């Protein structure tokens, strides 16, 4: 069965600093991986997805993630944090096959200090 672990339920960075949100997955088959962002009082929005093409995936708002099979990781990064990046971030893995259901991590809340 697939699973996702997000290391750190809360991450705090200063404005302009590097953002690194960690995600490790477990999957017996090549996974499809997703990062979503949730702003207060809103639903989840897709940031980026890995679907077995390029291992470095670029998303919206300057975020990117790198798929590393050897480390079973899909960490999310942004070179320079902005105040508007404060939100909760979820990593998700697809269970593949025709079901295509997503397994979500527990989320990481990102705070950005001025």
Partner 1 sequence: DADVTQTPRNRITKTGKRIMLECSQTKGHDRMYWYRQDPGLGLRLIYYSFDVKDINKGEISDGYSVSRQAQAKFSLSLESAIPNQTALYFCATSRTGMGNQPQHFGDGTRLSIL
Binding site for partner 1 (CB under 8 A): 9, 32, 34, 36, 41-46, 49, 51-52, 90, 94-102, 104-107
Least Å distance between CB 80 and partner 1?
26
CA distance 71 to 57: 16
In the complex with partner 1, the residue whose CB is nearer, 106 or 113, is 106
In the complex with partner 1, the residue whose CB is nearer, 28 or 99, is 99
Least Å distance between CB 110 and partner 1?
15
CB count, 10 Å around CB of 35?
26
Q: Cα dist. 38→11, 68, 85, 101, 110 in Å?
A: 15, 25, 10, 19, 10
The DSSP H or E segment spanning 65 is strand 64-68
In the complex with partner 1, the residue whose CB is nearer, 55 or 80, is 55
Least Å distance between CB 113 and partner 1?
22
């Amino acid at each position: 069965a697939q699973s996702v672990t997000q290391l750190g339920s809360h991450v705090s960075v200063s404005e302009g600093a590097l953002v690194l949100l960690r995600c490790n997955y477990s999957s017996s088959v090549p996974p499809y991986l997703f990062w979503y962002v949730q702003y207060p009082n809103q639903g989840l929005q897709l940031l980026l997805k890995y679907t077995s093409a390029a291992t470095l995936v670029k998303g919206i708002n300057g975020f990117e993630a790198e798929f590393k099979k050897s480390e079973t990781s899909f960490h999310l990064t942004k070179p320079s944090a902005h105040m508007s990046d404060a939100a909760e971030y979820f990593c998700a893995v697809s269970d593949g096959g025709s079901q295509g259901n997503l397994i979500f991590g527990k989320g990481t809340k990102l705070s950005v200090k001025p």
